[in-house]
Amino acid sequence: MTQGDHNAKPDDALVRASQNGDMVAFEELVSRHRDKVYARAFSMMRNEDTALDLSQQAWVKAWQRLAQFHGDSSFLTWMTRIVINLCLDQLRKQKRLRAESIEQLEEDLGGVERQMPVITPNPTERLERSELRERIDRALGHLTYEHRTVLILHEFQELEYKEIAKRMECSIGTVMSRLFYARRKMAVLMAGWKREESK
């Protein structure tokens, strides 16, 4: 069977075929979701080579564990979970999830500051969506990985505090303060860029 034969099939049919050893069906799944899986790895690692490597590892792992996929969630959700876990493992290995970054220290000493610039997308500003995305990407790049990871897991993966705490092996309180700090920093950065432009 060629990949073309699988084009019209839904994910669950491709998963079943893959579970029976159909590598072509699995290739079609990779082709459909590779960008999203890679994007999640890149958003967490902020490095192209690492993101490529980890996302490819995630696909290999998925192939090996296909029997464990029972369709409780979508295939993409399951895949994303695998790649996130690989990224978190990698970050732990690199000892990058340390608690003593400068920003963490700042957070601990100052507590969560309340001042949160109100950012509302202004239609008159005529920012293209791609430009907004580019700014958010730039702001994400300014966060430490602890803060960025919490933000990604909450805003983009829509995980609850409890689930994030479990994945990141920290307390719910830590998740809450990291999320608050990350949002505040994002808001400050976005407001700053807006001010610079209006000058």
Question: What is the closest distance, in whole angstroms, from the C-beta atom of residue 98 to other proteins in the complex?
Answer: 22
161 makes contact with other proteins (CB under 8 A): yes
Degrees to nearest 5, angle at CA 46 with 58 and 68? 15
13 makes contact with other proteins (CB under 8 A): no
**Which of 54, 66, 84, 87 is in the footprint of other proteins by CB under 8 A?**
66
Distance CA 17, CA 123 (A): 48
118 makes contact with other proteins (CB under 8 A): yes
9 makes contact with other proteins (CB under 8 A): no
Considering only the stretches 55-63, 74-82, 84-92, 97-105, report the one whose residues sit in contact with other proteins under the rule CB under 8 A: 55-63
Q: For 133-149, b where at least 16 C-beta lie within 10 A, e where not — what string?
A: eebeeebbeebbbbbbb
Distance CA 42, CA 87 (A): 9
Work out the end-to-end distance of the chain between its first and last CA atoms, rounded to an integer number of angstroms. 61
Q: Which residues contact 48 (CB under 8 A, 6 or more apart)?
A: 42
Alpha-carbon torsion 134, 56, 153, 112, what sign? negative
Residue with tokens 């029976």: 20
Degrees to nearest 5, angle at CA 45 with 64 and 174? 100
Considering only the stretches 45-53, 75-83, 89-97, 98-106, report the one whose residues sit in contact with other proteins under the rule CB under 8 A: 45-53
Considering only the stretches 6-14, 78-86, 90-98, 126-134, report the one whose residues sit in contact with other proteins under the rule CB under 8 A: 126-134
Question: What is the closest distance, in whole angstroms, from the C-beta atom of residue 95 to other proteins in the complex?
Answer: 25
Positions that interact with other proteins (CB under 8 A): 18-23, 27, 30-31, 34-35, 38-39, 42-43, 48, 51-52, 56-57, 59-60, 63-68, 111-112, 114, 116-121, 129, 132-134, 136-137, 140, 151, 154-156, 160-161, 173, 176-177, 179-180, 183, 186-187, 190
